[in-house]
Amino acid sequence: MSGGRALALRGVSKRFGTITAVDGVHLDVAAGEIHAIVGLNGAGKSTLMRIALGMQAPDTGEVEVLGDPLRHGECDAWARVGHLVEAPVPYPEPTARENVLVTARLRGFSRADAAIAASDAVSLLRLDAWADRRTHTLSSGNRQRVALAGALLGHPELLVLDEPANTLDPSGMVLVRSMLQDAAGRGCGILVSSHHFDEVARVADRITVVHAGRVVGSLQPGSADLEHAFFELVLAADEASDADDGGAPVSVHSRRSGDVAREERGA
Ligand X SMILES: Nc1ncnc2c1ncn2[C@@H]1O[C@H](COP(=O)(O)OP(=O)(O)OP(=O)(O)O)[C@@H](O)[C@H]1O
* Min dist. Cβ of residue 105 to ligand X (A): 28
* Min dist. Cβ of residue 265 to ligand X (A): 21
Site membership for ligand X, residue 18 (CB under 6 A): no
Shortest CA distance to 61 belongs to which of 5, 126, 9, 8? 9
The DSSP secondary-structure symbol of 173 reads H
Per-residue interface string for the shown chain with ligand X, residues 37-76, x marking contact by CB under 6 A: --x-xxxxxxx-----------------------------
* Min dist. Cβ of residue 199 to ligand X (A): 14
Q: How far apart are CA 174 and CA 30, in angstroms?
A: 23
Site membership for ligand X, residue 208 (CB under 6 A): no
SS3 content of the chain, % helix, strand, coil (to 5): 40, 25, 35
Residue type, 209: V
* 169-188: contacts with ligand X (CB under 6 A): none
Is there a contact between 64 and 253 (Cβ–Cβ < 8 Å)?
A: no
* Min dist. Cβ of residue 46 to ligand X (A): 3
Residue type, 217: G
**Residue 19 or 57: which CB sits closer to ligand X?**
19
**Residue 101 or 234: which CB sits closer to ligand X?**
234
Q: What residues contact residue 39 under an 8 Å CB cut-off, 6+ apart?
A: 45, 193, 209, 210, 211
**Residue 52 or 203: which CB sits closer to ligand X?**
52
Element (H, E) at 114: helix 111-124
Is there a contact between 97 and 118 (Cβ–Cβ < 8 Å)?
A: yes
**Residue 16 or 178: which CB sits closer to ligand X?**
16
Residue type, 159: L
Longest CA–CA span in the chain (Å) reads 64
* Min dist. Cβ of residue 39 to ligand X (A): 5
Site membership for ligand X, residue 88 (CB under 6 A): no
Site membership for ligand X, residue 166 (CB under 6 A): no
**Residue 122 or 190: which CB sits closer to ligand X?**
190
Site membership for ligand X, residue 24 (CB under 6 A): no
Site residues (vs ligand X, CB under 6 A): 16, 19, 21, 39, 41-47
